[in-house]
Amino acid sequence: MAPYAPTDGISKLAIDQSKHFTEALKEALKSSADQQKVAAEKVSELVAGDANLNLGVVSQELRNALTGNDADAKVVAAYVVDDLMQKHAERVEAYLVPLLSLFLDLLADKKPTVRPVAQETAVTIISSANKNSTIRILPILFAGLDRSKKWQTKKGALELVAELSKVAPYQVGRCLPDIIPQVTDCMWDTRKEVKVAAKDTMTKVCNVVGNMDIEPFIPALVSCLANPTEVAECTHKLASTTFVKTVEAPALAIMEPLLKRALAEGKTAVKRQAAVIIDNMCKLMDDPAEAQLFIPKLLPGLKKVIETQADPECREVATRAHETLFVAGGSMEVSEDELKVDYENIHKVVVESIAASPAAVKADIDSFTVDYVTGICYFLVVARNFNNAVFEKEIGAYFKTFVKPADLKPLSSEIRDRCFKENKSIFIEDVDCDEGIPDLCNCEFSLAYGGMILLNNARLRLKRGHRYGLCGPNGCGKSTLMRAISNGQLEGFPSRDELKTVFVEHNLQASEAELSVVDFILADDDLKETPRKEVEDTLAGVGFTEEMRAQAVGTLSGGWKMKLELARAMLQKADILLLDEPTNHLDVKNVAWLENYLTSLTNVTSIMVSHDSGFLDTVCTNIIHYETRKLKIYKGNLSKFVEQKPEAKAYYELESENVKFTFPEPGFLADIKNKGKPIIRLTNCSYQYPGAPKPSINNISVTCALSSRIAVLGPNGAGKSTLIKMLTGEVEPTSGQVWKHPSMRFAYVAQHAFHHIESHLDETANQYIQWRFQSGEDKELLAKETRKLSKEEKEHYKKPVNWEGEKRVLEEIVSRRKFKKSFEYELKWEKCPVDDNAWVPREKCEKWGWDKLLQIADDREAARANLQARPPTAIAVQKHLDCFGLGAEFGTHSRMRGLSGGQKVKVVLAAAMWLNPHILV
């Protein structure tokens, strides 16, 4: 079968079938001057009322009248076009818009009666045509600016460009890189009328940018284009401006001529200022594809400054601007030709799509319509608008005359898909989309959190069975994105009915701690109907013995809790697994198990955040990377990704991290002459969780000194966390002894770090630290087991003791002071005045069994010493937060609910270090 080709020209049959129109038009062309409009309206009504009339014949007959020698015929033909475009634009514009070039020529017609009608009709065409056909109209107007054209035609074309900026501002904004050079040339025209019109048009088209930072400078920018001597002054004005609004392509397009000239200026100061402007503006560009348009135009000028400028400070500023522009463009340097959308290619796509539709082939769509639709598709591709609904609406408006409604949607979808496939390489899109594998989702969305925009019109495309590592710097929103997916908060993401998504995280609630492992899973709303036998079999499959399955969830180690969460996800039969730092609490053996499990899931997609580079290397098939508020997908594991994006290595190597922590000096400890002397000691300690059949740790002894750097190693469930809890006072040993230096202070960051701040998320970090230490003591320390008195202990402390021959009952320990190589404590007795307070040596108090009260007093005294040195004021707390890389924007002015996971960890660490501790656990 011969390939489809749109009808080119007008057949004899079409001409014969349109004779009634031709006769009516001939009759109208003979009308007297006072009847011309009425006659034209009758012809227009005839065209509108005849659905079978060949509009190609209408266009050709009107063209003949407009190019003839009869001035009256030109006027009538113009009136016909004007009336048709005003009343029936959608049906006729594909045939009448090409006539715009004739009206431009008629603006210089010898007959004065023709020129105003031509001007009026040209404006009607501009204002009535589809806005997305702007990209087809502009070449016609540019042709009217050619040097060979008469000045009236040039002036009229410029005025029409200005009119177009009023009716289609967005479309004109996208075309500014093409418009500005054309209008600039006219600003140097020999005719004053053309120069004035050019300046007015330039001002109007520049006003479509909608950027309030730049709008005050538009008159200066326009004047600068006409007068190159003003470049230095204009650059100076702009360099002193603080840009705060998002910069889009139109804004950079009107700045580009000035910046290119400034970079080529002889004065060093002007070059430096141009580099400053580029640096400031590109930092505010959200879309890498838009920034890429200006890389081939501005990067060469910056490179020349870097290579040839003698002033080192100017070179440094230019280097910084070069890097900012390069990063804003997705860290890709491309030529102008690589970025251009090929019109002929789009035309080919439209023709081939029609050829693939039997209904469209049968309809024999003419070349007028194919060309016009091509122009609209061309603009949609340039604007990167691949929305199916938009394509269906735009294409359907012109194809509906030829194709039945049922065939329109498949045809428009075919054109849209082919346009995307043919042109996706010029956009910042996924490096490899694996076209042969079915999509789980392909959506575009924006994401904000805590007042910050994390992603702006980002596209996420996931394939079934792929394993994606989600990478980006701290604070970019990785965990927030996964939580938004899990909660169904992403626009365009398939609903839970279509796609089962499970978020696997360390999130055991206190209310669930007493449940058995099996009951914990059955308590999930999605698994209530699951047979108990299936739950037990799944748990056995991930390593839970029968004894462990009956165990309380709260007694499990961090590693086993993660395996429990994974087992729950397996039972939910997830399509997508979301894993947030899944290896954090797993030993080497269990990490290997997790790697094998994930790689065996051929029908389940995984998205994971992890700082374990080995894990990501083993598991990932793709990397999703945060790049200038977009998501870019790279094929391959972490190593392959780092080869393409070397700077990403900084996410996983501590020495590459730019953030510097400054820990406070811990202070002097009495009788500790060297850093090797013990300050905390556990002797023969054991601990057994309530309800557990055996101790978690048994008969363990540990000694820590100021010089100690201790790593606690062991398999999951060995009792590492339990040991830490005994050291910090979270729990008391079942047997054995814990000794701490009386003045020793420790800081504790829990395995689940957010545990510390989860009830303070609606406060700022500054407010949280002020609250926690407002009395000088650490309020979290007061909640520890070593600070709580049991009923038996309270009864013991109320027993009378023998002091100086009298029986006394302790009311409280008031204070402490140094005594020889130990301490003595001020005791307040019940029913005795303050004057009877006694100073008793520590050894005597220990003999009476008051160890816990002494420890409470020691902690209080240590806190008081710190309070005197550094009260928890807002200024002091923020200065402390600065030492941990948390600036005032996040530490004092943002609530913790809006902070990223990394920032929250900084808060927890800073709070733990507030008391200048001697030991950090």
The answer to whether the beta carbons of residues 815 and 871 sit under 8 Å apart is no
pLDDT at 75: 92
Assess whether pLDDT exceeds 70 at residue 422. Answer: yes
pLDDT at 7: 46
Q: What is the mean pLDDT of the chain?
A: 82
Query: How many Cβ atoms from other residues are within 10 Å of residue 524's Cβ?
Result: 12
Looking at residue 895, the DSSP 8-state letter turns out to be B
- Position 779 in a domain: no
Between the alpha carbon of residue 632 and those of residues 288, 331, 455, 628, the distances in Å are: 11, 12, 12, 10
Shortest CA distance to 892 belongs to which of 902, 905, 882?
882
For residues 375 and 250, state if they share a domain. Answer: no
- Higher pLDDT: 121 or 627? It is 121
Which one-letter amino acid corresponds to residue 72? D
For residues 548 and 579, state if they share a domain. Answer: yes
Q: What percent of the chain has pLDDT over 90?
A: 11
Residue range 402-423: average pLDDT? 84
pLDDT in tens, 80-99: 999 999 998 888 888 899 99
Q: What percent of the chain has pLDDT over 70?
A: 89
Range with the largest mean pLDDT of 217-221, 654-658, 890-894:
217-221
Nearest-angstrom CA–CA distance, 778 and 772: 6
For residues 555 and 621, state if they share a domain. Answer: yes
Among 113, 129, 145, the domain boundary falls at 129
pLDDT in tens, 459-487: 888 888 899 999 887 777 888 888 888 88
- Position 376 in a domain: yes
For residues 616 and 727, state if they share a domain. Answer: no
pLDDT at 5: 41
- Higher pLDDT: 638 or 506? It is 638
Shortest CA distance to 607 belongs to which of 502, 498, 529, 747?
502
For residues 302 and 323, state if they share a domain. Answer: yes
Q: Give the domain CATH number at 732.
A: 3.40.50.300
Nearest-angstrom CA–CA distance, 755 and 742: 27
Residue whose tokens read 């989860």: 758
pLDDT at 1: 28
pLDDT at 194: 93
Among 740, 759, 774, the domain boundary falls at 740
- Position 894 in a domain: no
- Position 575 in a domain: yes
pLDDT at 434: 53
Between the alpha carbon of residue 487 and those of residues 451, 503, 578, 609, 902, the distances in Å are: 19, 9, 12, 17, 21
For residues 116 and 241, state if they share a domain. Answer: no
Q: What is the sign, positive or negative, of the torsion defined by CA atoms of 295, 296, 300, 303?
A: positive
Q: What is the sign, positive or negative, of the torsion defined by CA atoms of 711, 713, 717, 722?
A: negative
- Position 817 in a domain: yes
Residue range 42-54: average pLDDT? 85
Among 426, 457, 480, the domain boundary falls at 426
Shortest CA distance to 502 belongs to which of 447, 548, 439, 567?
567
pLDDT at 330: 66
For residues 313 and 249, state if they share a domain. Answer: yes
pLDDT at 720: 83
* pLDDT-derived band at 2, boundaries 50, 70, 90: very low
- Position 572 in a domain: yes
N-terminal to C-terminal alpha carbon distance within the chain: 78
Assess whether pLDDT exceeds 80 at residue 450. Answer: no
**Domains in the chain: how many in total?**
6
pLDDT at 157: 93
What is the residue range of 317's domain?
210-338
pLDDT at 430: 43
- Higher pLDDT: 284 or 38? It is 38
For residues 421 and 569, state if they share a domain. Answer: no
pLDDT at 774: 80
pLDDT at 105: 92
- Higher pLDDT: 322 or 748? It is 322
- Position 661 in a domain: no
Residue range 199-218: average pLDDT? 86
What are residue 468's DSSP bridge partners? 607, 622
- Position 916 in a domain: no
Residue range 543-556: average pLDDT? 80
For residues 822 and 795, state if they share a domain. Answer: yes
* pLDDT-derived band at 504, boundaries 50, 70, 90: confident
Assess whether pLDDT exceeds 70 at residue 315. Answer: yes
Assess whether pLDDT exceeds 60 at residue 867. Answer: no
pLDDT in tens, 143-175: 999 999 999 999 999 999 999 999 999 889 888
Give the containing element (helix H, strand E) for 305.
helix 295-308
For residues 45 and 119, state if they share a domain. Answer: yes
* pLDDT-derived band at 680, boundaries 50, 70, 90: confident
* pLDDT-derived band at 4, boundaries 50, 70, 90: very low
Residue range 354-382: average pLDDT? 86
* pLDDT-derived band at 425, boundaries 50, 70, 90: low
User: Which of 307-316, 410-419, 513-522, 839-848 shows the lowest mean pLDDT across its residues?
Assistant: 513-522
Q: Give the domain CATH number at 43.
A: 1.25.40
Q: Give the domain CATH number at 249.
A: 1.25.10.10
For residues 307 and 370, state if they share a domain. Answer: no
pLDDT at 198: 92
Residue range 184-195: average pLDDT? 91
* pLDDT-derived band at 401, boundaries 50, 70, 90: confident
Q: Token pair for residue 490?
A: 């992403």
Those residues with Cβ within 8 angstroms of residue 370's Cβ, 6 or more apart along the chain or in another chain: 6, 347, 350, 351, 354
**Strand, coil or helix: 533:** helix
Assess whether pLDDT exceeds 50 at residue 656. Answer: no
pLDDT at 798: 84
pLDDT in tens, 776-795: 777 776 666 556 677 787 88
pLDDT in tens, 121-137: 999 999 999 999 888 89
Radius of gyration of the chain (CA): 39
For residues 480 and 604, state if they share a domain. Answer: yes
